[in-house]
Structure 1
Amino acid sequence: MSSIKVLQVTQMGSKPVYLGKVKFSDIKDKVRLTQRQESDREQFQRRTDISRVNSISDFLGKHAGNVCPFATPIILALELENDQDLVTENVDKYLRSDEAKAVLINENGNNDLSIESMSYDLYIPEHKKFIFIVDGQHRIEGVRKFLKGQKNLEMDFEFLVTFLLDYDYYEQSLVFANINFKQKPVNKSLYYDIFGSYPGRNTFTFVHFLVKRINESVELGGIVKMLGTGKGILSQAFLVETFMKILDRKGVLYQIYKSYEEEDNASTDYLNISDILISYLEFYLINFKDYSPQRVEKEKYPGELVFSSYDYDGYLFKAVGMFGVLMLFNDLFENGNLTIKNAERDVVHERLNKAFNLFVSDPSIQDKLFNDPVLAGSGSASLQTRFYQKIYCLVFGKESFVSKFPRSSLDKIFDNDVCKVISR
């Protein structure tokens, strides 16, 4: 194969990237694409959207004029040969090997990359599926479809390309996330899943751990819509962002996170908190069944029982309700209703029964709390806060409510009957 002339670019001391151009015919059988599964550390792409592929193909079919249809580069990743000393004369022989990697030759005709060079020649092995698409999957597939429909079989298409050479999967995923999340809209759940799977311990990995534990538990398994798609009913992105807000409060959850971040091997608090969180959410499923999702059979998932968003009243397990439920979780520790040192399910449920005694067996108050028409709206931040205030007041009482929400009026969030009960 002929070489690709590339230029090296380094920004702010970063690992270099290489800019060049390739013809579709030269890469069409060598590119590979994987879609990200839940927290698969070696995959980060979105599913290929067939409608986008069709749209790009149609766009190219109608394109006319002097404006370049794709002025921004696609991003491709390749593994680079660093172990063997190669020169221009023996590159072709090396590339025919089944174990060959990409080769970068400098202006001096060798692959010593410690020597600065104005430009380089990039050689790609003939192996199929050797090149990984980091960004540009829809453009490549759109071009593929467009060219298949052309009568001129010799027609080809040139791409601008940014090559990532010897970027590992985590570095590739960071490039992908920075481009797609910060520069154009992308599924937030995918973004959080990428950073939550990154090595090390930080707020992303801690919160990602909590969300995964919820979704993989026996009690709540499958309730989270991981990556923003699939059979769950709670958005992964919503849960991550809500937990982040709780951490910002510097409460008990934040203290547990700090011990996790510092890799305090003697502390199991981060494991305990996830167990307590699962039991806490299960408590709602058990005690407020009329307002909670239950597992049902669905044609789309034969042989499985999955949570349904449509078979219960209210908003408890939607954004409006779940925000308040999770914020209250932190408050229950702050007020001594729950303790991190005892994560046994029965103990957690017993403590919650005491904390929720005002309404756990009162259907009329439950209906006013979980089925208020005023809150059955779009899930806006104001409605989320309003529900949080209501459940906080019922659990901790009027005095605590006034102290925590001094600008809110009790009679504005409850009718007179409930106000009388709370004020007893």
Structure 2
Amino acid sequence: MTQEIRLPAIKVEQPIGVFYAVCMDAKFLSDVSFSTRADYKRKDFLDGILSLNSGNQRKLDEKRSDDIGGFIDSTEATFPNAIIIGANIDKDGSLIEDNASRWRIEEKSDGYELVIPSKNKVVTIIDGQHRLSGFSHSERKTMPLLCSVFIDLPAPYHAYIFATININQKKVDKSLAYELYGFKLEDEPKAKWSPEKLAVYIARRMNAHHSFLKGKIKLGASIDGEKAEGIVSLATIVDGILKLITTNPKSDRDELLNYKNTKGRNGLSNGSKNTPLRQLYLDGQDAKIESIIFQYFEAIYQVLGDKQKPNSYLFKSVGFQSLFELLKRSLSDNNSTFDYEKTKKALSVLEKVDFSDIFFTASGIGASRIKNVCFILLNYKSLNELIQNKDYQDYQKFLKDMN
């Protein structure tokens, strides 16, 4: 009995050569393929020069594969980008000549077919090993995958393609990713909104309606080709909101969208003191979460808005990061409840702080300094807690000069 499998294929001709676009299910691809970890040999012992001996893949990251497995089990799972594979290569990088194992392409009157004579492992993964390995952590083993199949491509080109793809990738702007992720989310049932979608929704409403932040949140996408303007990025606001409702947005999203989850948000784990608005999120009280955040920044504006100089770091990204930390601590200390008038009164102690001072430089250390000064003045921590901090004397001087 023959094990031969025939799959429709589309021929693609590019400068490097020809490959074929084929749809193949994940389990079958896993059965017939392998990944070879990059192995180096010493070219010059004295100079320590290394050259690639075989393979092209990084060490498999099981945590990453497990995360991908969670995504595969979600109702929004998709892999539109192709798994790139090289056929007829053995684990030593040599060309396979046995016709009983070799994959081949046959031209038909209506196109092309990929002919796979057996399930022998004669295919190496050029790019996509973690996506494929994710299926071993998933209950969905046979999802169809788009594959770009190179036939008889020499092994050195495998490493070249892998390096070209991964080195030349440019990280997507986080604000743009959030903006696109939340596009038309109003069309989806709110009960199925992940923490990220809720955070994007609230941030966009703040940009449209908040008395202080209206039009001041920089979106990732340009409007009519013009560069986005504002005082704080969408990513900063969204990340701040997320920290109030989740410690692992990706895990929540995958669990929420898992096809076996029939409880919606109630199927997620409970929160902790470190996520003070988690229970409101689980209970679907999105409007209350939005109200708390709106009121908090209204209080910030009323107490500190007209006290800030144009170059104040408080109303830059580092400042907003710290303000969200301040809100999280306040909610945690008050059983997740928010009182607008009490908040305004508490914030008044910050009126005397000159947040434009060079002490609050706009960097990661600036965010820590804004947070620590606010926490000290609001009695959330003492100056002595920073005694081991390398900037302890700077804190001492700044707080003394402020008084």
TM-score interval, smaller chain: 0.3 to 0.5
More strand by share: 2
Give TM-score, length-normalised by structure 1. 0.44
TM normalised by structure 2 equals: 0.46
